[in-house]
Structure 1
């Protein structure tokens, strides 16, 4: 007889939500000892960093772009701008120091993790406006420090919770985060240091960039998704080499750590189902 007050486990409990999937896929790519910066609306990014610290990268440190707090220790996701982070942080940097690091230090940060309104074929991102600037369809949060982070960090990641032709566009409507610019060596020719996007993760797959053309390439396809689905949901032609592998989904231990050590309140499941 089932006790009525005990929540019974269902098969869906073992399946990652979109937010959990993206966090795990990002976390796997981070190395121990690296320095990362994340912005304000960054639940997935924060979860990825803290999960990596629970797994292969215990000495990775992330800094709050809006608050300057370093590695606040919590078992749940809290806005990186929240002052409650201060008490459990390893360090706290004030705004002048933050500006020095973000805007002037080439390759001080190993990487940044960003979301976007749009990403294009060469990994340029837009967080400002969709459509004509005078009569926009959508206004985003603006550039903030994104231009400097994309330009000066050693690499960056893009996490998108939607994958459709409006998000994956041939060319961004407003270029605020430089990726590989026009492809090839155009980033370096524009005077930017080596770097650019490493991975784009979406609900349909994982994408990287072909080394010569610097065009977006299908790295893996999520289970249950077809290559044709991805092509139809993308506003430009992706590079496809052979038959892309199926994405390795989150392992039970990765989900256990994520849900019991990083996101005990289930924010990723609630906000990104």
Structure 2
């Protein structure tokens, strides 16, 4: 895991509260969820799309798929994918956790195609359960590297609906609750202005300036009136994270590496 990933993972893990349920995707979402559970939220329940409830992955043995047996380490229950989404539909999941290829000012996500949908230049993995997660979970967290090609004025395809065109558009479309609450990047923590539902900068990562965030974004960002600075990952958080990923605990800390996307 590189320095940018460490910054994002630690920052994302801090958003997860104890005694909650998170529907985590494989990759950084699962690592962040597992770090939160080990460090500060011991009663956090981690759900995986493959039907696994209450997983506690072993350090150094994180799964690369929800269908791996090791994804079920320490699980309280095995069920089916249909049951998982039924539980989401009934409102039992506090958090969904997604990655993106593109995201726009209102939190609409593309993980389907880059370019014209009928003749794309790049085909991406598609929705999987992402559309359901952002549509059904009580709130959705997004984690992604911060760069202009990802933060775009208009996504090439709406795989997972955020706040659509802003304001009340999401509710008027029938998605009466949920939606993206925070976007965690290697440069900043972003949220959404409550009325317009437009993305805004809530806090900056260590040693990052607001100008750097704006330069790495392909649209105009709002800025919170009380713009904050995120604390650097602690030695404990980094040690736990590197133990989880099976990496050396004595690498240079993430804050000593530039966090500016190129």
Q: Give the TM-score category using the shorter length.
A: 0.7 to 0.9
Structure 2 residue corresponding to 1:197, chosen from 180, 186, 191: 180
Residues 43-122 of structure 1 mapped to structure 2, 5 A cutoff: 43-68=27-52, 70-76=54-60, 77-81=62-66, 82-86=68-72, 88-102=74-88, 105-122=89-106
* TM-score computed with the length of structure 2 as normaliser: 0.87
The alpha-carbon deviation at position 166 of structure 1 amounts to 1.3
The alpha-carbon deviation at position 101 of structure 1 amounts to 2.7
The alpha-carbon deviation at position 244 of structure 1 amounts to 2.6
Residues 125-140 of structure 1 mapped to structure 2, 5 A cutoff: 125-140=109-124
Larger Rg: 1
**After superposition, what is the alpha-carbon deviation per residue over 1:143-166, rounded to whole angstroms, capped at 9, x for unaligned?**
1121111111100011112x2221
Q: Report the Cα distance in structure 2 between the residues aligned to 1:87 and 1:182, rounded to whole angstroms.
A: 41
Asked if the contact 2:112/2:157 (under 8 Å) is kept, the reply is: yes
Q: Report the Cα distance in structure 1 between the residues aligned to 2:4 and 2:221, rounded to whole angstroms.
A: 22
Asked if the contact 2:107/2:163 (under 8 Å) is kept, the reply is: yes
Partner-residue secondary structure (3-state), 1:170: coil
Q: Report the Cα distance in structure 1 between the residues aligned to 2:198 and 2:227, rounded to whole angstroms.
A: 16
Residues 9-28 of structure 1 mapped to structure 2, 5 A cutoff: 17-28=3-14
Residues 102-251 of structure 1 mapped to structure 2, 5 A cutoff: 102=88, 105-161=89-145, 163-242=146-225, 244-251=227-234
Partner-residue secondary structure (3-state), 1:59: coil
2:18 aligns with 32
**Structure 2 unmatched runs, 5+:** 258-262
Structure 1 residue corresponding to 2:246, chosen from 251, 258, 264: 264
Partner-residue secondary structure (3-state), 1:240: strand
Q: Report the Cα distance in structure 1 between the residues aligned to 2:72 and 2:201, rounded to whole angstroms.
A: 40
Asked if the contact 1:106/1:193 (under 8 Å) is kept, the reply is: no
The alpha-carbon deviation at position 67 of structure 1 amounts to 5.0
1:3 aligns with none
Q: Report the Cα distance in structure 2 between the residues aligned to 1:237 and 1:54, rounded to whole angstroms.
A: 37
Relative to 1, partners in 2 of residues 1:58 and 1:189: Cα closer, same or farther, differing over 3 Å?
Answer: same
Relative to 1, partners in 2 of residues 1:185 and 1:86: Cα closer, same or farther, differing over 3 Å?
Answer: same
The alpha-carbon deviation at position 254 of structure 1 amounts to 1.5
- The number of aligned residues is 249
